[in-house]
A and B are shown apart, each in its own frame.
Chain A
Amino acid sequence: MKTLIKNEIQKLRSFVFFLIVTSSQFIAISSSESSEKATDLWSLKRISDHVVPSVEDDSWARNPIDLFILDKMNGNKLHPNKQAHKSKLIRRVSFDLVGLAPSRDEVNDFVSDDSPDSYDKLLSRLLSSPHYGERWGRHWLDVARFGESHGYESDNERPHAWTYRDAVIRALNTDLPFDQFVKLQVAGDIISPKDSLAVSLTGFLSAGSTVTNVDGVDREKANYDKMDDIVSATGSAFLGLTVGCARCHNHKYDPISQEDYYKMVGFFLPGREGDRELEIGEPGSKVKAMVWNGGKKKKNPLLQRGDVEQKGDDVGIGVLTALSADNGDVKSWLSESDQNNGDGRQALAHWLTDTEKGSGELLARVIVNRLWQHHFGEGLVKTSNNFGQVGDRPTHPELLDWLSKELIKSQWKIKTIHKLIMNSSTYMQSVAWDKKRHNIDPENKLYWRREARRLEGEIIRDSIMNTAGTLNKKLYGPSVKPWVSKDAINTGSTNKWPVNVKDGPNTWRRSIYVFMRRSMRVPFFEVFDVPDAMQSRGVRELTTVPTQALMLLNNEFVRSQASHFASSIKNKLGDQDILKLINEAYWRALSRAPTELEITASIELLAKDGQTLENLCHVLFTLNEFCYVD
């Protein structure tokens, strides 16, 4: 009988689930007819002033974030974990902010520092490290679909594209207010034409793929593909909206009309990607930079069904009507002469960041969500590039709004939000797990524990070199092409990567400086889910496949780093005291001393025929603990 009832309940559950799924599928079809009903989309609504909730027992809370989290958790009979041990915390914080493990001294100093502001000092030190910009710049480059070649069949290189990457790193390192950062990426050349950082940030518009080697009508089509790349990236990166879906027809889910789309195209149609000589880096040093060259006002027809042969009326320039106080009109942001002559991108810049008359509040929501995502592994809105109907809803909408307000209040200072998030108990708690709480919230949606997070492909590579002592921490400059096996280099008509490169300090750079060729990603990155830069990417895939294991076990680069690792510790400590060597190896790889058991196992391993210190060093690179941070 009991089983019978259970079965019935199961059926009922399945049925309810079926209703949910099928109704969402129904929406997928029925809404293809029109885009007009979606105007109550949550993300387009104004940010409301949410009162920080008060909870009965707030002893765990360190700041308002925790109160928002506790409020939701308490309703579910959950309680959060205690703070992680300081030795764990510093590894977490270091990887999060600079993408490098803390050194032994750094760990010991922090653990032994009893002063109440020791954690604050740690955060400040890491936030002012130049490696902060490298770590967080890489997150932005995913969103900016940054690559250093045209993509598609011929995939010509763009030798000056690195200047955009450097501009992003510099902007983050100097904590350029985020609204400025956004403005300059769409119109830096107009807003601050004499500022080389501003002008090189316009590389955002040029950074995507470009169809080349086409003629006639195909050339015009290719140009509209480029427009689509820019409009889509602008929508996704800044606003989390899939504006590109309105290219051929009104957006099927979100309130974005085809006319909105083409008005956005109008800002870019007069311009083109190009290079300009700028003073970058050392004072007086001129380099060619990838920029966007704007143009003069131009006729901008709406393309019916996205077809270049079906040109409709000139729609001019404008912004998304659903996010505009002036029904999409941008004249108020432009002088008379701007309206008549320029391409009007400064108006787009203003609209994107204006919290009263434009899309500034959505901009704030989208970026604080990205910050949250990279601190916790998942955003409050899981689909960080899609805040539309098809995207996920926020798990903690009040917290998202509160954080957005904090960002705006802080004059859009990103580092302020990092500190706020990282100072919360929500962030600082341990990974401890128990079955009871797991059963209540198996996916940890309510943040009752911290989850171990896998490092990205770039950071695994950086960590291998950092551990081996070979990492060249030089900042900025043209990209490098490290060694890649011949097998991996396309042996087709054009060689897309140099063969027989000899690795050395010049190529042992942070992975953000590795040349991003769209058709020939470095296999290490390809296998570890680094995106292909064909479109803006908010969330990376996270696969676990045997080809990753083969990379870490057998790849020549990894193997040679293991040798460097072994020689480096032998050079430091001599090769007599095996205990010392094991101890040092563990500290370098895992930011901690080995346990008794690990020491015994390591000694046993080394005692076996044919085993070497190199092998022990190598195996540390493959450990789960090396690639996952608590």
Chain B
Amino acid sequence: MSINSKINLNSLSRRELLKRSGCGFGSLALSAMMAQEGLLGSQKPSPFTPSKPHFAARAKSVIFLFMYGGPSHVDLFDYKPALEKYSGKSVNDVVKTKGARSAGGLFPSPYKFERHGQSGHWVSDRYPHLAKVIDNTAMLRGVYGHSISHAPALFEVNTGMIRTGFPSLGSWVNYGLGTENQDLPGFVVMYDHRGGPIGGAPNWGSGFLPGAFQGTPVRSRGTPILNLNRPKDVMDGNQRELLDFAGKMNSLHSNDRPAEASLEARIQSFELAYRMQSAAPGALDLNKETDDTKKLYGIEKGNPGEYFGTQCLMARRLVERGVRFVQLYSGGGHGDNNWDAHGSITGNHNKHCASTDQPMAGLIKDLEQRGMLDETLIVWGGEFGRTPHKQGGSGRDHHPFGFTMWMAGGGIKGGSSYGETDEIGYHAAVNRTSIHDVHATILHMLGIDHERLTYHFSGRDFRLTDVAGNVLHDVIV
């Protein structure tokens, strides 16, 4: 039995992987990976090896700001003065609904809206900092989804499907492009300090893609990654030897169980963990940032932006180091701990807007100052918007039929917009934008043709965008 069986096994499973990746994109990945393999000879190959995109990429990495719970488009970016006119009227009197489950009257936004910047984007007074950099954003005001419940809606925004079991956007990107930094996970998830989103890990899972592509959650309070330091009585070289020993044993074990993909993923996870020990502490150490930078993000004790600002700044440090995809969650757990403003829009959104405003604006400014904004795509959105009509005392219900997302940086045409809802913000009415369209655009910015990024599973070639998706060329430079 050869000592090199680990390497053989890895190559085998990579070949298997490449075979599954279809003809289009796969061949690109194949050549890149094979070249890498040949070049590096006996060194350990990895599924994360960076590969060339289909065409020139605008963005190298993505920071996805996920507002979990459903931020209200009509109170933040989609100004609807007509709600004043119809105030208190039944929504069914104004638009044809799909069965409104909360039948409160139409409810004008309690917030003041103004146009900002050269673009004249409407922004409510909850986002004073963001308003100052709003010219960097492309507003997608006609997005729609398919589920009125949190979990399926989260799954749709994260995987393109309302059911579980499908790979997340971040894992598709990692599968397609690999990652620039082999010492950090290619896909990092930081959830809110109050808890994770409903649905949990499938939101950043790899579905039927190999497990190694799933998102790695890092802790959102205290030390972000625990156990990064080697035990005091184990020397570095010795730990490497132990990992090699385990790798050999694990590959022998896997040889008899070629179908268990999680075993291979586990082998990869140990290799990555080993490399993270030296790379991650620096990447996540905010002490290396100046006070001015921290202030820019609103990171000051007691400041509402303290937590989300920390996440945003860590995200910048991660993409700076070549991490491909970072997803940050604002809002966690249940009730008003996230954006789910059933009882009171002001009671809920005042808090969450304040905690995200300065951090998001700081992130855009900071990336711009460092010349990184052009190559970093920022995506903002929740799993749905909120109803233009009232629920409870002064809240709004879930609303997937028309809502807002925005993008910035990474080749996005700042100040542009695409899509509109109807006069009360109920239906996406003009240039209706599906989540598949949003995904297709994100992949496009990364240089990936969403129709050619495929994975063969259970008898067919799967795509992130299923059989749909149009790139939103109107918002691209």
Contacts and interface: CB of A to CB of B under 8 A. Distances in A.
Interface of A: 10, 13-15, 17-18, 21, 24-25, 28-30, 32-34, 152, 211, 225, 248-249, 252, 305, 307, 309, 431-433, 438, 442-444, 451-452, 454, 485, 487-492, 523, 527, 529, 532, 534, 541-551, 553-556, 559, 597-598, 601-602, 605, 608-611, 614-615, 618-619, 622-625, 627-628
B174 to A, nearest CB: 13
A211 B333 CA distance: 13
Contacts of A451: 259-260
Contacts of B269: 544-546, 548-549
Contacts of B334: 534
Nearest to A604: B245
15 contacts: A13-B460, A14-B467, A18-B466, A32-B98, A305-B392, A309-B393, A432-B256, A433-B259, A489-B222, A547-B217, A553-B273, A553-B274, A559-B231, A619-B245, A623-B253
10 cross-chain pairs, A with B, having the tightest CB-CB distances, nearest first: A549-B273, A33-B99, A487-B223, A546-B273, A554-B227, A550-B227, A541-B201, A559-B231, A25-B146, A549-B270
Interface string B252-270: 1110111110110111011
A527 B273 CA distance: 13
Chain B's interface: helix, strand, loop or mixed, by majority? loop
A442 to B, nearest CB: 7
B276 A546 contact: yes
Interface string B447-466: 00000000000111100001
A623 B458 CA distance: 30
B201 A543 contact: yes
B404 interface: no
B10 interface: no
Interface residues of B, number: 85
Given A21-B466, A625-B249, A544 B214 contact: yes
A608 B467 CA distance: 56
Contacts of B205: 541, 543
Interface of B: 1, 98-99, 101-103, 146-149, 152, 161-163, 185, 195-196, 200-202, 205, 211-212, 214-218, 221-223, 225-231, 233-235, 237-239, 241-242, 245-246, 248-250, 252-254, 256-260, 262-263, 265-267, 269-270, 272-274, 276-277, 333-335, 337, 391-393, 458-461, 466-468
B257 A452 contact: yes
Q: Which of B162, B225, B234, B238 neighbours the largest number of chain A CB atoms within 10 Å of its CB?
A: B234
Given A547-B216, A549-B270, A555 B227 contact: yes
Contact of B273 (A305, A487, A523, A550): A550
A444 B227 CA distance: 36
Contacts of A225: 335
Q: Which of A432, A549, A601, A614 has the most CB of B within 10 A?
A: A549
Contact of B226 (A32, A305, A529, A551): A551
B237 A610 contact: yes
Given A28-B152, A305-B391, A33 B201 contact: no
A618 B223 CA distance: 24
B242 A545 contact: no
B266 A624 contact: yes
A542 B262 contact: yes
Nearest to B201: A541
Contacts of B466: 14, 17-18, 21
B248 A21 contact: no
A28 B147 contact: yes
